[in-house]
Amino acid sequence: MSPTAVDTTPLLPGSAEFIPDTKPEEILPIYTSLTSAFRTDRTKSLEWRLGQLDALERMIRENGALFKQAMLEDMHVSPLDSDVMQVSLALSDIELFKANLESWMKPETVSSNLLTFPGKSELLSEPLGVVVVYGAWNYNFLLTLQPVIGAIGAGNCVLMKPGDYAVRSTQAMMQLIPRYMDQDCIRVVSGGPELSDAILEHEWQKIFFTGSPNVGRIIYEKAAKFLTPCTLELGGKSPCIVDGTADLTVTARRLVWGALASAGQTCVRPDYVLVHESIGDRLVQMVKSTVKEFYGEDPKESPWFARVINQRNFDRVTGLFDGSEDLMVLGGPKTMDRDTCYVPPTIINFRTDKQRFAAAKVMQMEIFGPVIPVCYYNDVSECVDFIRSRPSPLASYLFSSDPTMKETFKHSIHSGSQAINDTMVQLSVEDLPFGGTGASGFGSYHGKYSFECFSHKKAVLSRPTILDVPQRYPPYTPADGKFLRAALNAKLSLVWGRLSRLMTTGKIVAFVVLLLAHLSELIVADFMSDFWSIGRDSAKYQSEHSGPNSCFQWEVQTLLSQQCHNEVDDYYENEKDDNYRRSMILCFGMATQKYRRCKEEGHGGHWWLVTGERSQARANTLEGCLLKHFKQAITLLLKTAEVNGKCVPIQRS
């Protein structure tokens, strides 16, 4: 069947009829329904998210043969290619989400500063709301469902619109999505530009679009009316550089595979080749041989070679041949067939004619077809300058065995992603984000990045009402300003957050183990540096006024390791200024003051651990453990006395 024909035969047994395109006037009630569903908060639960991911996985597994048949009819894509490059990748993403979603949803504790101590700073990932996903016809299932997986996993309601050119695969999703998914929260529509215009008349919380730069600009302009954030996965002319050290056999195979997969209709395909002139002729010959190896004498008869999506795109791709027919060393217009949308694998070799190469029609836009332009270079700087003179591509590729060349490539070429000695497979790595830069789009997804793409990271600071620092409130003194600046710049580590989680669950033993194991690395490094900076900043003021006669207004843990003892001892020996020395003791003096007060009140000195009837025994046990390990440091540094509520450091004996 010709890819241009629209087959209205129902895909599913028992289907009454071919589902027609969604009418523009249907969008408003769909939008209203999705918005109302999101406001019920049911999509925010882990159970709902996992349930919908399970349903989507079941839909794909139970209808895999139907999906592959639809893609075969749309673009003559082989079932094996559809399985490997679309179905399997979607299933892999679902499995990744199911395995990690619970941990991704948990708040992330981040570092605070001393001004907010003992507050807890967190990042809370929350769903954006009702989002739109525009799929793309070239990999219709994957490029529609993969972002939808991220949107569902992040807890959003979703309106998805598959690529309208791929009629059969879109029809499959139109028939299957309502059978498996929660229709209150997840809807699928189909249609052309008129439907898209109707969608963009409403205020969505996110628009995710995969497609051409021209359509992407239109969507972005209309989204700006509502300040709707967008992720745009566009395209561009992705370059491939082959230097003189490349393994030509492997290069030819991986280059042909990437450039001709899905008849070249892949947004990250190598769109043109820049090869060193010393190996240019050999590479072109090997590419020709590899095409024959992969697709036979007549690729039109090969089950592995796809078709251009429709006659409109057939005309566009073949129109790029104009003016370059004499340079075609493979394929070309002789064997192409408009009725079946067949464009043969074509190589256009410009050799060293760089001017003609740059001006050729085939170099003025993303090809999105099975055409490989080739040009030879003499020095890699020519490649870098040429690529930089054009819009930033979605991907860039290098084949080389030279470490210096690899480093030059990584740091000189600006693109959405890169692969060295391969093409396109970077998209299969779930821990690598996929997205463009500049003209090739913005935003990224895949794996956890899909979850983040459809989430808002909300900043949350939670503080107790104790320890209200008076220096933050007017009227201010010069000392208050110095204190506030120092407190804002002193960053606390994640230790407080880790300890808080342990303490709230009552895991005292685990807390002690963590404390002893990481004390010198985490606590000393962070707390000592913070206290030293504050002590130093206050020293000058203290020496100019009444001396160390006021306490720092925060509570700190009285936890010092032997390493801390040694470092401070060395500090005393090196610092001759008594003001600095007194400030050091003053910083730690406040900790001991709180320790002693709590101890006098029967809390064992550790007020943050005291809960329940066994609090005294628990605190005493921890106190004994700490004193056993840090007795010398405490004895040496934490000698203070209380005089009229003031902290007065005692001179070191």
Calpha distance 606→608 (Å, rounded): 6
Q: Which positions are annotated as active-site residues?
A: 233
Calpha distance 158→133 (Å, rounded): 7
β-pairing, 130-134 vs 157-161, is: parallel
Tracing tokens 């530009």 back to the chain, one arrives at: 193
- Token output for 245: 């050290």
Neighbour-count burial for 214-232, b at 16+ CB within 10 Å, e otherwise: ebbebbbebbeeeebbbbb
Determine contact, residues 559/630, Cβ cutoff 8 Å: yes
Calpha distance 630→362 (Å, rounded): 74
What are the E-state strand segments in 450-516?
455-462
Calpha distance 199→132 (Å, rounded): 9
> DSSP string of 253-268?
HHHHHHHHGGGG--TT
- Token output for 620: 């005493």
- Token output for 204: 């969505």
Kindly list the distances between the CA atom of residue 627 and the CA atoms of 433, 468, 558, 607, 623, in Å, as whole numbers in the listed order: 49, 29, 10, 16, 6
SS3 328: strand
Determine contact, residues 416/441, Cβ cutoff 8 Å: yes
Is the bond preceding residue 475 a cis peptide, omega within 30 degrees?
yes
Phi/psi at 227 (5° precision): 55, 35
Residue 133 C-beta-side C-alpha neighbours within 13 Å? 29
Is the bond preceding residue 118 a cis peptide, omega within 30 degrees?
yes
From the list 176, 82, 181, the residue with the least C-alpha distance to 138 is 82
Tracing tokens 């003051």 back to the chain, one arrives at: 593
From the list 393, 454, 360, 516, the residue with the least C-alpha distance to 131 is 454
What are the residues whose beta carbons fall under 8 Å from the beta carbon of 124, sequence distance 6 or more?
107, 457, 458, 459, 460
To 5 degrees, how large is the angle CA 69–CA 75–CA 77?
60
SS3 63: coil
Calpha distance 181→167 (Å, rounded): 21
| Beta pairing partners, 24 | none
Kindly list the distances between the CA atom of residue 390 and the CA atoms of 332, 384, 437, 442, 582, in Å, as whole numbers in the listed order: 26, 10, 13, 17, 63
Neighbour-count burial for 173-207, b at 16+ CB within 10 Å, e otherwise: bbbbbeebbbeebbbbbbbeeebbebbbebebbbb
Amino acid at 137: W
What are the E-state strand segments in 433-524?
434-435, 441-442, 444-445, 455-462
